[in-house]
């Protein structure tokens, strides 16, 4: 019986270094998997933040597109009303309100400019006029501290 116990003890001792080696290998493999998991989680968070930014950008572009469509619709109604005398211009203008004081100022300046040029003017000519006028207005308003454009 004692010989059997000794043989089992020897077999058990021979397995100990092998088990310890296997345990170390398994621990190393587990650590490698944990590190890989952390890297994948970081990559996921980065991609998620990128996706959120893209969604925000898309929302801004959609708002801009909607605004442009609204302005295009307003412009097409104005063009149609100027060509069609059955549809009064006042109703068209009331359906497309000016959104800011600066827009109202531009509409007034452009209207005055076109009134002086009864045969019309090109967009480039109007834009160059506005740029020159804008620079002059800025220089003139610098003399009056309470006046802002």
pLDDT of residue 30: 95
- 74 contacts: CB under 8 Å, gap ≥ 6: 95, 96
pTM beyond 0.85: the answer is no
Which residue do the tokens 């170390």 mark? 24
Is residue 28 classed as helix, strand or coil in its secondary structure?
A: helix
pLDDT of residue 33: 97
Confidence of residue 123 (pLDDT cuts 50, 70, 90): confident
- Residues for the chain: how many in total? 149
Question: Is residue 106 exposed (0-12), middle (13-18) or buried (19+ Cβ within 10 Å)?
Answer: middle
Confidence of residue 141 (pLDDT cuts 50, 70, 90): low
Average pLDDT over all residues of the chain: 78
For the record, the structure tokens of 29 come out as 């493999």
Alpha-carbon distances, residue 5 vs 11, 13, 19, 144 (angstroms): 10, 12, 20, 108
Find the mean pLDDT for residues 3-27.
75
For the record, the structure tokens of 124 come out as 């480039």
Whether residue 16 has pLDDT greater than 70: no
**pLDDT tens digits for range 31-40:** 999 999 999 9
Spatial CA neighbour of 113 closest among 133, 93, 135: 133
Confidence of residue 64 (pLDDT cuts 50, 70, 90): confident
For the record, the structure tokens of 143 come out as 């003399």
């Amino acid at each position: 019986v004692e010989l059997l116990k000794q043989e089992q003890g020897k077999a058990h001792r021979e397995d100990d270094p092998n088990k310890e080696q296997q345990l170390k290998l398994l621990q190393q493999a587990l650590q490698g998997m944990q590190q890989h998991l952390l890297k994948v989680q970081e990559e996921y968070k980065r991609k998620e933040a990128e996706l959120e930014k893209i969604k925000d950008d898309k929302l801004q572009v959609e708002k801009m597109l909607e605004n442009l469509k609204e302005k295009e619709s307003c412009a097409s109604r104005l063009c149609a009303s100027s060509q069609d005398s059955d549809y009064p211009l006042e109703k068209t203008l009331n359906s497309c309100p000016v959104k800011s004081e600066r827009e109202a100022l531009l509409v007034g300046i452009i209207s005055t400019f076109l009134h002086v040029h009864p045969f019309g003017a090109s967009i480039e000519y109007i834009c160059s006029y506005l740029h020159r006028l804008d620079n002059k207005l800025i220089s003139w308003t610098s003399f009056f501290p309470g006046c802002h454009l």
